[in-house]
A and B are shown apart, each in its own frame.
Chain A
Amino acid sequence: MSDVRFGKQEGIFMIVNAMSIQLFLGLPRRMCEAGGPAGWMIPLYTSLITLVLFFLVSKLYSPFESKDILDIAHFAGGSILRVVVGIIFIIEYIFALSILLRIFGEDIKIFALNQSPLSFVIIFFIIVMVIASYVGIEGILRLNIIILPVVAFALLLVLFGNINYMEISNLFPIFGTGPYEIFVKELSRISIYSALSGVYFIAPFIGKHKDFKKVGYWSLIIICLLFTLGTMLYILVVPYPTSTEYFIPFLHLARYVSYGRFFQRIESVFILMWTLSAFSYLSGGLFLLLYMIKKTFRLEYYRPLAIPIAIILYSICFIPSSLMYSVTIEGEILRRYAWIVTFAVPIAVLIFARLVKRKKEGGKCNEKV
């Protein structure tokens, strides 16, 4: 494991992929619900806040080059802190992965495989996840580099196909539901960038602190652009009150694309490309989860854990009783409170570790004298 290294480009692609799948789920709709025609402002300003937060994190991170958050927790507070921090992250990842697994499965069921039972659809995801995380992170990352341009191409296709239907007047009134609603109430929406926590765990693979910073910044910038433009595109095509109706906004946009009599209803091709992104995210997520468990409990191997954890995820994802309920959970709980785990906990741990380090180094200085 320790000889796996990958460059910043692969790191950027992985984090961007992890965050961008939200665009294909319900993100534009939620932004429109919150901000009306000005929904595109929310990703913009939340990403600015996140950039500031990440700046803070990376500054605190600089003495701990190429260590992941669990090592730092161990350094700071011994095994207890490491286990506590590890368990927090593990719970968050299990929660996020199972909810998203459920939502992916239901989405596929809604528009591609109508009659199949949900377990049949999700088993595909599970099998692919297990095999991919078994093979290792290298394969997933390399494949990411190939997949992401394909997904970007699909997005561009949707963008250009919908130009006929865009109307600038849909963006007005400019401030939508009002500045208070947008800026204050939606502050907790910085949780949409919660996949950034992955960057803490791939720090040992990336190595240098400079690269770590670059991975964080570049992925945030790319995602900011992606979310803003994606939401703006959605609002341009579908005017305000209607835009709160659609379940998977980008799917509807893909349905509108038609060039002549021949090239119509290509939403299934869009499904193909978007599902690749989903597979990549889930496999990477499972791998990070296994890696976290291995590191938290100081286990020797992570591969035997793959199948049991996958079965646990499989069982958990059936707990919500309906799709609406799981969408509510994802929208309200995960995307409002995940910022605690992604930002608050690491910052706290890092500050604590810095203090400990200073104390230790202060001790050393005293010894020398």
Chain B
Amino acid sequence: MLADIKKVLKDLFIFKEPEKIEKFILKEKKSETRQYNESGNFDDGKAEEENKDEPKSDKEETGGEVTKKESSGPKKRGIKSQFAPITKIGDNKDKEEEKCQCDNKEDNGDEGKTSKDVSTMTKVSKKLSDNIAYLKYRYSIPDSADVVIREFNITVKGKTIPTFIIFIDGMINTDILDMAILQPLMLLSNMEIKDSENDIENIVKNRLLPHNQIKILREFSEIIDDVNFGGCGIFVDGIDVAFTADIKGWKSRGVDRPNTEMVIRGPQEGFIESLRTNTGLIRKILKDASLIVENVTVGKRSKTPCSLLYVKDIVNDSLVEEVKRRLNGINIDYLIDSGELEQLLEDNSFLAVPQIIATERPDRVAAMLTEGKVAILVQGSPFALVMPATHIDLFHSSEDSYIRFPYANLLRIIRLCAVAMSLLLPGFYIAITNYHHEMIPTDLLFAIEASRERVPFPSLVEILIMEFAFEFIREAGIRIPGPLGSTLGIIGGLILGQAAVAANIVSPIMIIIVAVTGIGSFAIPNFSLGYAYRILRFVYIFLGAVAGFFGITAGLFLQGIWLTSAKSFGVPFMSPLGPVTKGAAIDQVLRAPIWKQEKRPDYLNVKKSEKQSHISRQWLEDDKKRK
């Protein structure tokens, strides 16, 4: 006890030498250690297949073959460090899989060996033990505890055949596993099989696996992909193919309201993270046989399944080609969210506005598909991507189609005003009060001046302070848990504003301007565009302070040039206003009544441009005829 205290005191007050042994260093790459062998094989490869692993590091592909010795490889670091004994882990199997067309490695001739180099297998072998060994090695089975291998025997035509299944616990629906796979295999295989099939493979597939999705595979990579995504691999001794069954059953949240796009009138379903459920939601709305849902896999390691949706009869083929080309050309490791996919697909990453629409509502995606656009759904993300997007699309909300014509136009006009205000109002205020004093009505001028008399900062600094404070509040409000969140918003706004005014740091009119601007930016339906304009607003404040209205005009012109020369998947970004295309007044800027919307938007060059006949309300025509 006393010794401990002494030790502690000593630690505190006496300089301590750095430790000799480092706690954890990322393993060096294989090329930096001595044992690297050009041929790619290892000296002591075969003996160590049963050894334990260390957890892989996240990012790098650590191919380090390490030994108990110090690393004294060609790129020796300064510190002599000792690594704990680490065994070889699965390394460079990719390289090896590419190099050796491993037909030869099938162990037809290796019956006698007890341990074999299973790390080089690519195809299913007829020997069950080899398969088990490979899968154990590949999944690092005793370490990775949720990968389960269940071995059992099936009896087919009197023969007892050992089999095993492999699945990942937590990703499968255990009921179906028991009922549809284990039970038939274990129990029903005892029944008489009336046919005279001698082929075990066919018997198993045709008779013994009453499940709705069975695939027959030879390559291990495909089997592993399927097992990774909620499948169950079934290996039968003596046949060189394996079966995979799709028994996905992970827990996901139920179909719930969309979080970001609320409407009053309209369906309240939003996408969830599961891909098939999402495509189901869209299929529910568009019960069209020409709605194509293509499968694309993005990400070399995450192998995220994505779906590409389009309506074949309507969409422009070159658009689909282009989207597919871009998707297939993405080389990344892990794709986690559709946001990343959006950034990888878009034309111009530096443009301030988004060029792809991300939405959470299936009805909106369905509506856009019917116009001739293309949608992408990503597994694990409740946001669907729709392309191409024009600037005007970013102002639409799905409610516009569901409510009546006068209200829809009112909402659109309000939104346009809100957008214009959220972008330009602080800039205009600064420009008017600093440069163009004659524009202010005299009463207002005196009111502003009286309230600003005691404020020590110039108006530019004032407005920057308030803007930053508002941004802080917004950002903080996202992360505050539950009930405190809304309270902080109100309290922060009111009290901060009130106190700031009372302390003569800002003038009250500034609070109003910042608040109106903030509210205006919330009125933008597409939150990505809201972010964009939040950034641009600062540019306009600065321009207004430098040169008044003239500076703001220059900024508007440059922004206009920037936007009009941008393209989103080949469609000019500012159509139908930029290059003038038909239909601007029909559905783009303002909305005509629904019986007038006969054509699809012109800028997409769709195959069938008429979507409603000229007389879409036949009952009205019949009324006329009756008279």
Looking across the interface, which residue of chain B has its beta carbon closest to that of A270?
B549
The count of residues in chain B whose C-beta lies closer than 8 Å to any C-beta of chain A is: 30
Q: Which of A117-166 contact B (CB under 8 A)?
A: 121, 124, 127-128, 131-132, 135-136, 138-140, 142-143, 145-147
Interface code B547-576, partner A: CB below 8 Å = 1, 0 otherwise? 111111110111011101100000010100
Offer 10 A-B interface pairs, CB within 8 angstroms, sorted by A. A6-B579, A112-B549, A139-B561, A139-B565, A143-B578, A145-B580, A269-B439, A271-B553, A272-B550, A283-B561
Looking across the interface, which residue of chain B has its beta carbon closest to that of A6?
B579
- Contact between A113 and B547 (Cβ–Cβ < 8 Å)? yes
- Contact between B579 and A142 (Cβ–Cβ < 8 Å)? yes
Interface on A for B, CB 8 Å cutoff?
A: 6-7, 9-10, 108, 112-113, 116, 121, 124, 127-128, 131-132, 135-136, 138-140, 142-143, 145-147, 261-262, 264-269, 271-272, 275-276, 279-280, 283
With A271-B549, A272-B549, A276-B556 as given contacts, are A136 and B579 in contact (CB-CB < 8 Å)?
no
Q: Which 5 A-B pairs have the closest CB atoms?
A: A139-B565, A142-B578, A142-B564, A268-B436, A143-B560
CB distance from A112 to the nearest CB of B (A): 6
Among B441, B553, B558, B577, which residue has its beta carbon within 8 angstroms of that of A272? B553
Chain B neighbourhood of A131, CB < 8 A: 558, 561
Chain A neighbourhood of B552, CB < 8 A: 272
Most chain A CB neighbours (cut-off 10 Å) among B439, B548, B560? B560
- Contact between B441 and A262 (Cβ–Cβ < 8 Å)? yes
> Would you call B438 an interface residue if the criterion is a C-beta within 8 Å of the partner chain's C-beta atoms?
yes
Chain B neighbourhood of A9, CB < 8 A: 580
- Contact between A276 and B553 (Cβ–Cβ < 8 Å)? yes
Interface code B413-450, partner A: CB below 8 Å = 1, 0 otherwise? 00000000000000000001001101101110000000
- Contact between A279 and B557 (Cβ–Cβ < 8 Å)? yes
- Contact between B580 and A280 (Cβ–Cβ < 8 Å)? no
Chain A neighbourhood of B553, CB < 8 A: 271-272, 275-276, 279
Among B436, B574, B577, B578, which residue has its beta carbon within 8 angstroms of that of A112? B436
Chain B neighbourhood of A132, CB < 8 A: 557-558, 561
Cα A9 to Cα B577 with chains together (Å):
12
- Contact between A112 and B548 (Cβ–Cβ < 8 Å)? yes
- Contact between B550 and A113 (Cβ–Cβ < 8 Å)? yes
With A7-B580, A113-B547, A128-B554 as given contacts, are A146 and B561 in contact (CB-CB < 8 Å)?
no
CB distance from B397 to the nearest CB of A (A): 23
- Contact between B574 and A124 (Cβ–Cβ < 8 Å)? no
Chain B neighbourhood of A124, CB < 8 A: 547, 550-551, 554
Looking across the interface, which residue of chain B has its beta carbon closest to that of A139?
B565
Chain B neighbourhood of A276, CB < 8 A: 553, 556-557
Given A112-B436, A135-B561, 17 additional A-B pairs, CB 8 A = A9-B580, A113-B435, A124-B550, A124-B554, A128-B558, A132-B558, A139-B562, A142-B572, A142-B574, A143-B578, A146-B564, A261-B442, A268-B435, A268-B439, A271-B550, A271-B553, A276-B553
Chain B neighbourhood of A10, CB < 8 A: 579-580
Chain A neighbourhood of B574, CB < 8 A: 142, 146
Chain B neighbourhood of A6, CB < 8 A: 579
CB distance from A287 to the nearest CB of B (A): 11
Chain A neighbourhood of B557, CB < 8 A: 128, 132, 143, 276, 279-280
CB distance from A136 to the nearest CB of B (A): 6
- Contact between A146 and B577 (Cβ–Cβ < 8 Å)? yes
Cα A267 to Cα B551 with chains together (Å):
16
CB distance from A240 to the nearest CB of B (A): 28
Chain A neighbourhood of B548, CB < 8 A: 112-113, 268
Interface code B155-177, partner A: CB below 8 Å = 1, 0 otherwise? 00000000000000000000000
- Contact between A139 and B550 (Cβ–Cβ < 8 Å)? no
CB distance from A314 to the nearest CB of B (A): 16
Looking across the interface, which residue of chain A has its beta carbon closest to that of B577?
A146
Chain B neighbourhood of A143, CB < 8 A: 557, 560-561, 564, 578
Most chain B CB neighbours (cut-off 10 Å) among A135, A136, A143? A143
Cα A283 to Cα B435 with chains together (Å):
26
Chain A neighbourhood of B578, CB < 8 A: 142-143, 145-146
Looking across the interface, which residue of chain B has its beta carbon closest to that of A266?
B439
Chain A neighbourhood of B547, CB < 8 A: 113, 116, 121, 124
With A128-B557, A279-B553 as given contacts, are A138 and B564 in contact (CB-CB < 8 Å)?
yes
Chain A neighbourhood of B549, CB < 8 A: 112, 268-269, 271-272, 275
Cα A143 to Cα B574 with chains together (Å):
9
Chain A neighbourhood of B577, CB < 8 A: 142, 145-146
Looking across the interface, which residue of chain A has its beta carbon closest to that of B438?
A265
Cα A6 to Cα B572 with chains together (Å):
13
Looking across the interface, which residue of chain B has its beta carbon closest to that of A149?
B577
Chain A neighbourhood of B556, CB < 8 A: 276
Cα A116 to Cα B551 with chains together (Å):
13
CB distance from B138 to the nearest CB of A (A): 52
Cα A121 to Cα B551 with chains together (Å):
9
Chain A neighbourhood of B436, CB < 8 A: 112, 268
